[in-house]
Structures are given as C-alpha cells and as structure tokens.
Structure 1
Amino acid sequence: MTKLGMISLALLVLTFSAPVQAINKVIYGSDDRRDPYQESNPHLLNLARSTAAMIPNPKMTTQDNSVTIQGSTLEDRGICSSAKFANHATAANCSGFLVGDDLLVTAGHCVRSQADCSGSKWVFGYAYETAEITKDITVDKDAVYGCKEIVQQELNGTNKMDFALIRLDRKVTDREPLKFRTEGKIENGQKIVVIGHPTGLPTKIADNAWVRNNSGDVYFSANLDTFGGNSGSAVFNADTGVVEGILVRGEQDYVYDWSKGCRVPKQCTNEGCRGEDVTRITNVTELMSLAN
C-alpha cells in the first residue's frame, strides 16, 4: 500500500471508530485517570455515584432485573494494545451528572434533539468495581434511566456555549444530586477533578489538574485528562467537591503511531496544547432558577 493509502486508511479508522458526539480531548502531563476500584478517597467515590453514562439503546439488553451493556475494547477500535485501558470496554457516547431528583446535566452537543433524548439511556454505575475487566458490563435495571425531555439546551458556535439540562423518566432515589456553583467564578489556578467516560469507557476519575485560563464568562480552560466521551462530565472543585462546570471540548485525543500501526493518546505538557474547555455551570439558567 502506498503511503497516501496508509494515511487514508488511518483517517478512515479514526473517523468510524469514535462515538458520534465525541469532541476531542487529551492527556496533560501524567495520565491520572483511574477506575473507582483504584480510588481510595471516599468523597470522590461518592461523587462518582452521581455521574452517569449516555448509552445508545441498541447496546443494552434487559433481562429480569438487570441490564447488560455490550461493548468493544479500545484495542478493537484501533487503539494500541500498550495504551492505558486498551482492554477496557467502551460503550458510552457522552457523560452526565445528577443535579436534582430527576434532573441531569450534560453537554449540549450530546443531546441536540428529542431524538437524541429518546435514543439513549442514562446509566449510573457503568464502571469496573473490581480488577476483573470484561467487555460487557451488567448493572441493576434500577440504575438505567430514560430521557423524558430536554428542559434547556444550548449549542452556540459563536460564543462556545454548550450545555443541556434534561429530565429523566423518573426520580433517582438512591443517589444524591451533586452540589453546584450558583454564582461567581472558580479561582484561576484552582485544582479540579473530572469524573466521566473518556472514549466511552467505564467511569474514570482524573485529578491533578487546574484552571489554566479563567478569563471568559462562558467557559474556562484546564489541563484535564479527558477524551471524547467525557463530553458532559462534571468538573469538580477539588477542595469543595462542588461542580464548577461541564467538560465540552479540547485538544485532539489520539494520534497515529506509524511505528506501531495504531493510535495512542496524545500527550501534552501541563501548560501545553490548547487546554480542555469547561462550560461554567452558572450558565445553565434554568438550573440556576431552580436553585434559588
């Protein structure tokens, strides 16, 4: 095959292996992502319980009181076997988090229409709770929620506003809604944590990040270790546990390694590349009105 043909093939693999709603993200400094079973901080584990994965309906099979989510691995999708989490399942398109009894926040580009709302379920506990790694993950049926309606949604290419507030098909009774900022701005340089589903993976927690650019009113930028699939993830103040914003976009997440013939996560220094953008939660006006 010619070099041009190899490039075309690599681009084809990249195009068809990523979730439709994915917006690129990247690794800054060391890769700080970890599974819940590797997390020793009980506060972060409690926050993770109130985060959810957006799973397309065709990837789920219901049997009795459980739902099995069918996934492929990152390696199946062309990621190098040496990459972190290469053997982990990937099934989620986006991430979200609970902010009320039946209210969930995600990215605006994840839920653009009622068809998007109806075409997927929101799954709490899509995670590895032990070191046993499987392609398919089974959760309790009670942990799976439909999207009843879009309460508020905005996706603006001009000012970069990107969020959605949706109503679930029933109240969540076994998890606490997350606390969120209702006024003001996060401090520049403040340490932050993100919890969500990078590249559609089961829940990953990533810290050791901070606010790099805090000048805008719509969003701030940070050096979070996030990927497509993290869109809609809650970004927490590492000191208070309060939600500061919604992860929405960032740097290219994978690059092709010609020596290995597969893709690897893009690496940046903590101060390098473009940074990851986080819509300020205070811009979700319907949520702010409910909080007051």
Structure 2
Amino acid sequence: MKFILLIALVLSSYSHASVKAIYGEDDRLEYSEVSLEYKRLGDATGAMIAKSKLSLQGTSYYFSTKTLGEEMMGNQFRNGYLCSDEAFHSQQTLSTCSGFLVSSNRLLTAGHCITGKKACSNYLWSFGLSESKMREGKIHRDSVYSCKRVIKRSSGKRDYALIELDRSVVGVTPLRISKKSLKKGEKLFTIGHPSNLPLKFAMNGRVEEISGESFKTNLDTFAGNSGSPVLLTKSREVVGILVRGSLDYVKDLSRGCFVANRCERVRSNADCMGESVFNLEYLK
C-alpha cells in the first residue's frame, strides 16, 4: 500500500510500499450485498476524509468529488488511464485512509495515515460510508467526527495509530480485538475504502505467512485500505491492521489503459507479494 493516494505508476515501475492487488477472483462486495451482521461491522469502519473536500452548509457536509476513472486520469497514471470496464470505474472517491472503532470514541488506523503536525486536525472521519450514502453527495454533520488527539502512533514494523475522536459514535458497536494467537491458513476478510471508494468488504482471504509483528494475506485490497481492520471469518474479531501490499494497477498493453493487478497466488511474481498486515498481538 502507499500512503493512501492512488498509484501513479507505469508498467515498468512497480515497487511501492503501500500498493495492493487482486488475488484470483475479485471478492470485493458492496455494503448492500452483505448480511446484517457484516453491515454492523461496516458501520464501525471509518473513512478518513480531508477537511478540504467537505463544505459545511447548514446541517450537512457537502462534497463534489471525482469518480475513480476521473481520479486516476492524468497525473495519477503517466501516459494512461483506467480502463472503462474496470470495477467501480464510475463510483465516487472521497476518503484517504480507513480505520475502525475500538471503543465509542477511539479508533485504530495505520500509523502512516497520521503523519505531520496537522494530520489530526486536517482530517474528519465518517463511518459506514456506503455507495448509497456517497451518491447523496452529503453527510449529515452528526455523522462526521474530528480527531481530538492522537493517543499513540507508531510506524515501521508496528504501523498503527490510536486516535481519540471529539465525541462518541452513538448507535455503533465497536469491533472486538481477538485475544488468540493467529495461525497460518486461518480465513480472513477486511472492510475499508479501496482506491478511496465507498465502503467495500473484501472476502475469502487467508493467512499466508506469519513473520514477527506482521503477517501476509491474499485479500483483495488497494491503496485507501490502509488502516482497514482485518478480521477472522469465524469469530468476526480483528486480528490486524492492513498496512501495505502488492502493486494496485498494471497497464493492459493491448488496450493501452490500466487494469487491476491480478495475482493467481501470493508470491507468484515480484508484483504479487501478498498484502501485509500489522499483527495486533503486538499492539502496545
């Protein structure tokens, strides 16, 4: 993953610490496509939004943003653009990072999402920001939260930030952090904002490799998923924070436009090294 901006790469330049990819079939689902149990987990998953993208008018924050196709045109790709038949091409983009509630007024995200002296004050948070909500072009001010303070932040191997919001998020159940030790092969899913899109659920992942304070998965994630909760399919408990991964997009040479990087399996080539997750067993 990169620090949450959409990737600006050409075919010959793949290496970047914060990009991601698709493994096998694209398993991403909309909020409207999942069960009520999963929806409740999505309601506790936050979108980190730059204040500059929102305009408070009366009781709502209004926004006018580019679609994914528009966002990835021009300076996002050198000499290229996103193929028009790519998934979510016409959906709006808004967020920068993802995060998730661990109490009524505290959330976890990736540490590299919260950098600089104004990282707390320059961003707002909204939860359960689905595609249908994005279509409205506004968010009620009661559903927008500011960062009161960064309680703790770490980068590098322990890539996380714990944030206190300005007030409690009412009517939402925070996610539970697992207390068990992770095992290779366990099934996983994640929730967040790939490519800064509305909320998506990436299903059917698994633990591929455990190495010290991180582990790798084959979840279908992209830049914008930084800070997403990674949960055990069986218990619905959080075991990690998504922080980086393989290349997001590659050029389709036959058409001249860019498509999602598809990996048949983790480590199949240099651009498919798996999605890296900070293991919450090491949260301190």
Q: Same fold (TM over 0.5)?
A: yes
2:54 corresponds to which of 50, 57, 60: 60
Q: TM-score, normalised by structure 2?
A: 0.86
In the alignment, residue 129 of structure 1 is paired with which amino acid? S
Residues 137, 193 of structure 1: alpha-carbon distance in 2 compared, 3 angstrom cutoff: farther
User: In structure 2, what is the equivalent of residue 7 of structure 1?
Assistant: none
Distance of 1:86 and 1:193 partners within structure 2: 23
- Separation of aligned partners in 2, 1:235 and 1:63: 35
Report matched runs for 1:191-270 at 5 Å.
191-214=187-210, 216-270=211-265
Gaps of 5+ in 1: 1-12, 16-20, 286-292
Deviations 1:108-132 (A, max 9, x none): 10002341111110111321138xx
Identity percentage over the alignment?
38
- Residue 141 of structure 1 corresponds to 141
Tell me the amino acid that sits aligned with residue 278 of structure 1: V
Computed over aligned residues only, the root mean square deviation of the Cα atoms, in angstroms, reads 1.9
Q: Does 1:74 align with 2:68?
A: yes
- The 8 Å contact of residues 22 and 231 in structure 1, kept in 2 or not, is answered as no
Gap regions ≥5 residues in structure 2: 1-6, 10-15, 74-81
Q: Which moved more, 1:162-171 or 1:108-117?
A: 108-117
How far has the Cα of 1:277 moved from its partner?
0.5
Shift of 1:101: 1.6
Q: Is the 8 A contact 2:158 2:283 kept in 1?
A: no
Q: Equivalences for 1:125-140 in 2 at 5 Å?
A: 125-129=128-132, 134=135, 137-140=137-140
Partner of 1:171: 168
SS of aligned partner of 2:39:
helix
Residue 282 of structure 1 and its aligned partner are, at CA, apart by 2.7
Instruction: Give the total of aligned pairs.
Output: 259
Q: Is 1:31–1:225's contact at 8 Å kept on the other side of the alignment?
A: yes
* Residue matched to 2:150: 150
Please identify runs of 4+ aligned residues in structure 1 that moved more than 3 A: none
Aligned partners of 2:282 and 2:93: how far apart in 1? 30
Measure, in 2, the Cα distance between the counterparts of 1:185 and 1:248.
Answer: 19
Q: Distance in 2 between matches of 1:175 and 1:249?
A: 27
Task: Determine if contact 1:35/1:129 at 8 Å carries over to the other structure.
Answer: no
What's the CA shift for 1:22? Answer: 8.7
Amino acid at match of 2:68: L
TM-score (norm. length: structure 1): 0.84
